[in-house]
Amino acid sequence: QVQLVESGGGLVQAGGSLRLSCAASGGTVRSYAMGWFRQAPGKERVFVAAIDRSGFARDYADSVKGRFTISRDNRKNIMYLQMSSLKVEDTAAYYCGADPDRRAVVGAGPGYWGQGTQVTVSS
């Protein structure tokens, strides 16, 4: 069973950048596809980005394409989300998720979740 811990959230001005990290432990982490999700106040949790086990295949929500980059370092068991050109509407709690099935990460939702890290973008 994999455990996930997010870090790197904070307060940033619109147009700025942040890098989120998701440290994974337990199980064989490189066997999991992973992804980022976010939940704004009063809204449902939504998909942001996903990356396959190898790190080569990546998917993004339309709202973040060209601004966010997902990556992973399987040697360190860490996944990243580099966020640039941040907008006020990017304000949310960001969660990382993992699942042996990549389709679960980009679809219904992964089986394993972290606790989340808050990102607040001010105008």
Tens of pLDDT along 50-98?
999 999 999 999 999 999 999 999 999 999 999 999 999 999 999 999 9
Residue with tokens 């980009």: 106
pLDDT at 70: 98
Report whether 2 contacts 24 (CB < 8 A). Answer: yes
**Which position has the higher pLDDT, 109 or 36?**
36
| Residues whose CB is less than 8 angstroms from the CB of residue 90 and which lie 6 or more positions away in sequence, other chains included | 38, 64, 83, 119, 121
pLDDT at 27: 75
d(Cα 45, Cα 15) in Å, to the nearest integer? 23
pLDDT at 30: 87
**40 pLDDT higher than 80:** yes
Q: Which two tokens stand for residue 26?
A: 């337990």
pLDDT at 107: 84
- In this structure, how many other beta carbons lie within 10 angstroms of the beta carbon of residue 56? 7
Tell which residue, 74, 71, 73, 75, has the closest CA to residue 83. Answer: 71
Tell which residue, 110, 114, 87, 88, has the closest CA to residue 100. Answer: 110
What average pLDDT does this structure show over 29-50?
95
